[in-house]
Structure 1
Amino acid sequence: MAFILRRPFAIASALKQAPTASSTTIRAFHHTPLKSAPSNFFTSRTTAASTFAQSRNVFRNTFRRTYMQGTPTVQTGNFKQRLLYGAGIFGGAILATNLIFNRETREDGGMPIFERAYLNETFLHTGLGIGIIGVAASALHRSGWSYRLMATNPWLVAGLGLVGSIGSMYGCMAIHPDNYIPKYALWTAFNLTQAALLSPLFFMQPALLARAGLYTVGMMGSIAFVGATAKQEKYLYLGGPLLAGVAIVALSGLAPLVLPATATRTLMWTENLWLYGGLAVFGGFTLYDIQKILHHARLSERGLLPRDPVKESISLELDFINIFIRLVQILGMQQRRK
């Protein structure tokens, strides 16, 4: 009864289809030769019973077809609730992070203009670098580079990737910012190297990559806000502990190459350490890098350090890439469990 109340037009559609089957039977009966017509009472009862059973099947199939093939409707209420829940969780996370890590704010009346300008230039180069990586990785994936990269020896890929990434990175950092052409050339080479190594990520679903990118921007944006508004040089002491943490995370990432496949529990622990420990470490690096950029802005204002936003952007790009990769893997694992 509840189904009929939810589907008021199902009965009407069933009644429209039921006479079709019965009329077919009657029409066949009228066109049947006289000698093959039903000759006794039992034969007519059998024909009537089969007609009723056929009509009942049509009626039943109508309900089944209406239920199974109904057009899926988007429940706007649930979608709005999810949006509100997501916004509430994101805002609560920013508020909690601000209350925990940003209880001591700046005492110099806010961020000076030169610090804001230096930070904005660094963010601009970071966004451009990430854009270059995304566009180049997509183009390489469409050209078949990802398949060839996956078929190559992993040790060769790791060795060439480290040489290309570290070489171009330190070369770009070492060049004076007044030498625009070689500096930006090495900066572009660094981004293209990262794109070549990250192109296999495009085997994942685009929606999952978009979610991971959105979460990465939200996470780094909230941490950058805390680092920019916190007390000067408050989190610069994190450099040493974060280096120790990233060493542990790197060793846990290399564990599957050393440990046997039978050590399931140990591999599970190392994977969790690489994923969630890496998120914590590189989130801390984001906080540290933001305060380091502001510290370098003050030094460059005094003439003690050259103004180099390209060099500063490389650190934030590495933070973004490491957080993004881990979020992609975490979201992929959750999707496979469903």
Structure 2
Amino acid sequence: MIVLPPAMGPAALRRLAPQVAKASASSPAAMAARAFHQSASKNTFFTSRIVPRVASNTAYASKFPSASLMSRIAGASRSYHQQAPVAAAGQASTMRKLLVGGAIFGGTLVVTNIMFNRETRDDGGMPVYEREYLNNTFLHTGLGIGIIAMTARQMIQSGFVYRIMMANPWVVGIGGMALSFGTMIGTRMIDPDNYVPKYALWTAFNATQAAFVAPMLAFVPGALLARAGLYTVAMMGSISIVGATAKQEKYLYLGGPLLAGCAIVLASGLAPLVIPATAVRALAFTENIWLWGGLAVFGGFTLYDVQKVLHHARLAERGVMKRDPVNESISLELDFINIFIRMVQILMMQQNRRK
């Protein structure tokens, strides 16, 4: 900035004019003004052009930020309208699964009643003590299945399942069976009044069952697992109603035949270890026995176990034995697991055929 002396004439001012112009041009105020005008000429906020509502050109959208914003809004609205049919299809699929589950429940109930339950109870219905004992048993069964599900999920997330799969299968199989039978026998032998050791061994038994189920659950989609669980609950629920409303001790004779059928199903499950891979028909036959024969056998075990629970309730009411819903729930848990595994395999086969 140039400071002029107070006494200076017009001639002296004309001589100093170039210096004044040069100094004013290099002043901070002038530089700020030029920067403001240059930025204003480049900024679209100061332009008078009209931006179209939808900018489909990428270069144009990058040149005009407001246009890119409008294009994103338009794209979001289009994606919203495209997702609406997808949501409707998902609701229809969920409704279809619920209808299939209801059909399994109703169909199993009707067929089992027609085939086995022609004679109902003649003692005026289920007494209160039987109902309470049966409800307590099913409560422990649901709790045990929940422990198995949560333990299996934790095994998958922690990577324990993959370490099991990389180990020697014979060691894992034999060791797992030994732990499973050991914890089950230990749970049954402990008196029901000793709550802490009994529930501790029962939890350990459920953990061993989770170790058996977790390798399968690690590679099956969650939606398919939910469907298999729904169908298993529908099947076991309908059979349980038949067993609870049937005549007293009507199905207790099924214990021996069901054990024989279970042995056949177990042998069919071990058949691939003995039969060569070239015997396709034999392997397919044993697989059908494992799947459909297993469903029939463990459905029969559910019927037998429900009537056994009611029989034990009557014995406990007379003081012959103690009430022990933990022991009763073990049998129903095994029924649920075996039916659930076969439901998963059947649904996986159907899904592979559709592909």
So what's the TM-score if we normalise by structure 1?
Answer: 0.76
**How many angstroms does 1:176 deviate by?**
1.1
Q: Deviations over 1:27-56 (max 9, x none)?
A: xxxxxxxxxxxxxxxxxxxxxxxxxxxxxx
1:333 corresponds in structure 2 to: 349
Specify the alignment match of 2:106 in structure 1.
Answer: 91
SS of 2:218's equivalent?
A: helix
Give 1:269 deviation, angstroms.
Answer: 0.6
For 2:135 and 2:91, locate their aligned partners in 1 and report how far apart those are by CA, in whole Å. Answer: 39
| Alignment CA distance shift 1:79-1:232 (3 Å) | same
* One of 328, 333, 341 as aligned partner of 1:317: 333
Distance apart, 1:93 and its partner CA: 3.4
Alpha-carbon separation, structure 1, partners of 2:187 and 2:279: 42
CA contact (8 A) 2:140 2:325 kept: yes
**SS of match in other structure, 2:181:** helix
Identity %: 67
State the partner residue of 1:199: 214
Could you give the per-residue CA deviations for residues 126-166 of structure 1, whole angstroms, max 9, x where no partner exists? Answer: 01100000001001100011211111222111101110100
Q: Distance in 2 between matches of 1:252 and 1:299?
A: 37
Q: Measure the CA separation in 1 of the matches of 2:159 and 2:96.
A: 38
Q: Which moved more, 1:131-140 or 1:151-160?
A: 151-160
Name the counterpart of 2:242.
Answer: 226
Match for residue 180 of structure 2? 165
Indicate the residue corresponding to 2:152 in structure 1.
Answer: 137
Aligned partner of 1:181 in structure 2 is 196
CA distance in structure 1 between the partners assigned to 2:324 and 2:140 by the alignment: 11
Q: Deviations over 1:142-195 (max 9, x none)?
A: 001121111122211110111010000011001111111111111011001111
Contact 2:106 2:238 in 1 (8 A): no
- Relative distance call for 1:71 and 1:138 in structure 2 (3 A) is closer
Counterpart residue identity of residue 229, structure 1: T
Letter in 1 for 2:232: T
Structure 1: which amino acid aligns with 2:156?
H
- Note the C-alpha offset of 1:84: 8.3
Q: Does 1:300 align with 2:316?
A: yes
Number of residue pairs aligned between Structure 1 and Structure 2: 273
Secondary structure of the equivalent of 1:261?
A: coil
What is the match of residue 294 of structure 2? 278
The letter for the 2-side match of 1:113 is V
Q: Supply the distance in 2 between the matched residues of 1:90 and 1:289 (Cα, whole angstroms).
A: 18
Deviation at 1:261, TM superposition (A): 1.1
Give the CA deviation at 1:80.
9.2
Aligned positions of 1:96-107 closer than 5 A: 96-107=111-122
For the pair shown, the structure with the greater C-alpha radius of gyration is 2
Kept in 1, the 8 Å contact 2:271–2:286? The answer is yes
Which shifted more, 237-246 or 254-263?
Answer: 254-263
Question: Which consecutive unaligned segments of at least 5 residues does structure 2 have?
Answer: 1-55, 57-77
Does the alignment pair 1:123 with 2:138?
yes
Q: Residues of 2 paired with 1:81 and 1:169: CA distance?
A: 39
CA contact (8 A) 2:258 2:300 kept: yes
SS in 2 for 1:203: coil
Read off the aligned partner of 1:209 and give its amino acid letter. Answer: L
- 1:108 matched to 2:100? The reply is no
RMSD, aligned α-carbons: 2.3
Q: 1:182 to 1:102 in 2, by over 3 A?
A: same
Q: Distance in 1 between matches of 2:121 and 2:295?
A: 27
For structure 1, the residue ranges without an aligned partner over 5 or more in a row are 1-19, 21-65
Tell whether the 8 Å contact from 2:192 to 2:324 is kept in structure 1 after alignment: yes
Residue in 2 that maps onto 1:48: none
Closer, same or farther in 2 for the Cα pair 1:212/1:96, shift >3 Å?
Answer: same
- C-alpha contact 2:137 2:329 (8 A) present in aligned 1: yes
Kindly provide the amino acid, as one letter, of the partner of residue 353 in structure 2. R
**Which whole-Å CA distance do the structure 1 matches of 2:95 and 2:201 have between them?**
47
Q: 1:263 to 1:100 in 2, by over 3 A?
A: same
Q: Evaluate the alpha carbon distance shift between residue 84 and residue 264 of structure 1 in structure 2; reply closer, same or farther with a 3 A threshold.
A: closer
- What residue in structure 2 maps to residue 290 of structure 1? 306
